[in-house]
Amino acid sequence: MNNKNDRGIRAILLSAFIVLTSPFAHAAIWYVDKDNTGAQDGTSWGTTYTTIQPAIDAAYGDGGGEVWVAEGVYDEQRGNDTGSVIMAGGVHIYGGFAGDETARGERDWETDITTIDGSTARGGSPAYHVIIGADNATLDGFTITGGHAQPVPHYGGGTYNWDSSPTVTNCTFTGDTAFGSELAENGG
């Protein structure tokens, strides 16, 4: 190669390096710990949100990012008709944190159990869907319980993913029920 091509390739590589290592290339992390009694802006373990939905909304409003959720049972009332935690595209939600980690790989979802409970999420009644999914979104490291998708809508007591495909890993679904109209008509 000649010097002109070498300089061009170096300039492209340098530009790519700057973009990939700039602070704007890395998505923000939003923090949740139900036990926080202080300031709540979600930007650190010291100022966590106490519920999951505000962190999802903040990450989505910021163009995407991660939500790190500390162990505990998240069974708050949810401000929507279905009683659901609503995922958002570009937002990746991880449970299983003790509440002091600095890297996602330090979490242990098997020890630091993080539960999203929909048992009373609709004014004391069960959520129709504990989680409503979204494309380009992740749910990882949670126990999902207490959804009851009856009478309407009928599907997805634990998670409802109509026309969406979130990535769901390291999750346990227990104590969720759903009844399709054909099952209800047949006594099921």
Q: For 19, how many CA atoms within 13 A lie in the half-sphere containing its CB?
A: 6
Q: How far apart are CA 24 and CA 45, in angstroms?
A: 21
**This model's pTM is above 0.75:** yes
The per-residue pLDDT for 155 is 83
| CA gyration radius, the chain | 20
Residue whose entry in the numeric block shows the structure tokens 């929507």: 80
The per-residue pLDDT for 162 is 86
The per-residue pLDDT for 79 is 87
Q: How far apart are CA 178 and CA 19, in angstroms?
A: 46
Handedness of CA 7, 11, 12, 13 (dihedral sign): positive
Q: How far apart are CA 60 and CA 69, in angstroms?
A: 16
The alpha helices in the chain, defined as continuous H runs, are 3-21, 52-61, 181-185
Q: What are phi and psi of 46, to 5 degrees?
A: -80, -15
Render each residue's pLDDT in the chain as its tens digit; 188 residues.
Answer: 555 555 545 544 444 443 343 344 457 999 999 999 999 999 999 999 999 999 999 999 999 999 999 999 999 999 899 999 999 999 999 999 999 999 999 999 999 999 999 999 999 999 999 999 999 999 999 999 999 997 655 788 999 998 999 999 999 999 999 876 444 333 33
